[in-house]
Amino acid sequence: MSSDVRELYQQVIVDHSKRPRNLRPLEGANRKVEGYNPLCGDKVTIYVKLENGVIADISFEGSGCAISTASASLLTESLKGKTLAEAEALFESFHNLLTGLEPADEAPKLGKLVVFSGVCDYPTRVKCATLAWHTLHAALSGEGEKVSTE
């Protein structure tokens, strides 16, 4: 990754951490799951309004580091209007990107989420970036109301 690209990605993360999108409770949500990353102290609550297998609306609340906030913000932006199958596929690609299994240039479907590709160089921050996704996964699969990365 060139330093220009790295800087651009960094700017997107900073922007989303300072001005998170969809940061609010969601009226009419039929799924709500809380996630916690004890390593860093990040907390996130994901709200989803599922309609006929489609994410009709999605939002989050939370407090945490810049990476966890930006990740939740970009997650909500990326998933609105997606089907459950599309959301799960995106979760898998994102996870592979962060664990270095999927090179960024082979993940065009990730769109803006590719800005987190640099995080795989910082293993302790991977959980910050994936917290919202694990929480979302639990919300979509109905696997309980609380998630911890530990």
Q: What is the nearest approach in angstroms of Zn ion to the Cβ of residue 95? A: 16
Using CB under 5 A as the binding rule, whether residue 42 contacts Zn ion is answered as yes
- How would you class 146 by CB atoms within 10 Å of its CB: exposed for 0-12, middle for 13-18, buried for 19 or more? exposed
Using CB under 5 A as the binding rule, whether residue 44 contacts Zn ion is answered as no
Residue 40 or 54 having the CB closest to Zn ion: 40
Rounded CA Rg of the chain:
14
Q: What is the nearest approach in angstroms of Zn ion to the Cβ of residue 106? A: 26
Residue 55 or 76 having the CB closest to Zn ion: 76
The correct pick among 79, 98, 126, 128 for binding Zn ion (CB under 5 A) is 128
Residue 23 or 65 having the CB closest to Zn ion: 65
Residue 29 or 35 having the CB closest to Zn ion: 35
The correct pick among 5, 23, 40, 56 for binding Zn ion (CB under 5 A) is 40
Please say whether the beta carbons of 31 and 25 come within 8 A.
Answer: no
Please say whether the beta carbons of 97 and 113 come within 8 A.
Answer: yes
Q: What is the nearest approach in angstroms of Zn ion to the Cβ of residue 28? A: 29
Footprint (CB under 5 A) of Zn ion, residues 53-72: 65, 68
CA angle in degrees (0–180, nearest 5) for 11-17-19: 95
d(CA 114, CA 139): 23
Given CA atoms 113, 118, 121, 124 in this order, what sign does their dihedral have? negative
Contact residues for Zn ion, defined by CB under 5 A: 40, 42, 65, 68, 128
